[in-house]
């Protein structure tokens, strides 16, 4: 199975800050990398699919990128808003089982 790791596990930032979350795959997942946002007690919400495609309705201050190796990926929130307080998870859909990262908890200072 492909293992997904994320860093940091948690962070605290101020409104307006630029926030970067990293996701690393144990082997190349090509461009089959998605990002989700999950708030307490709620189902996850798709933010980005295929590394950098912004899901319809998701604010444009979210963006995704990846390395040519297909193992390192980044989710960036360009200007953190209060409603962005949540857990952010990556998922690879290159090879089943389609594994998720453990999540990064983002808090607002």
Partner 1 sequence: QVQLVQSGAEMKKPGASVKVSCKASGYMFTKYGITWVRQAPGQGLEWMGWITPHNGDIDYAKKFRGRVTMTADKPTSTVSMELIDLRSDDTAVYFCTRGQWYLDYWGQGTLVTVSS
Q: Examine residue 73 and tell whether it contacts partner 1 (CB under 8 A).
A: no
Q: How far is the CB of 60 from partner 1 (least distance, A)?
A: 18
Among 60, 68, 82, 97, binds partner 1 (CB under 8 A): 97
Beta strands in 1-109 (DSSP E): 4-7, 10-13, 19-25, 33-38, 45-49, 53-54, 62-66, 72-77, 86-92, 104-108
The interface region with partner 1, picked from 17-25, 28-36, 63-71, 77-85 by CB under 8 A, is 28-36
Per the CB < 8 A criterion, the answer to whether 14 and 77 are in contact is no
Binding site for partner 1 (CB under 8 A): 32, 34, 36, 43-46, 49-50, 55, 89, 91, 93, 96-103
């Amino acid at each position: 199975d492909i293992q997904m790791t994320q860093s940091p596990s948690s962070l605290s930032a101020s409104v307006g800050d630029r926030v970067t979350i990293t996701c690393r795959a144990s082997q190349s997942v090509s461009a089959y990398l998605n990002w989700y946002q999950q708030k307490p007690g709620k189902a996850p919400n798709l933010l980005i699919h295929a590394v950098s495609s912004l899901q319809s309705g998701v604010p444009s201050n979210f963006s995704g990128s990846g390395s040519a190796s297909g193992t390192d990926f980044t989710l960036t929130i360009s200007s953190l808003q209060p409603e962005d307080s949540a857990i952010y998870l990556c998922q690879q859909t290159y090879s089943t089982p389609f594994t998720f990262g453990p999540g990064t908890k983002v808090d607002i200072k």
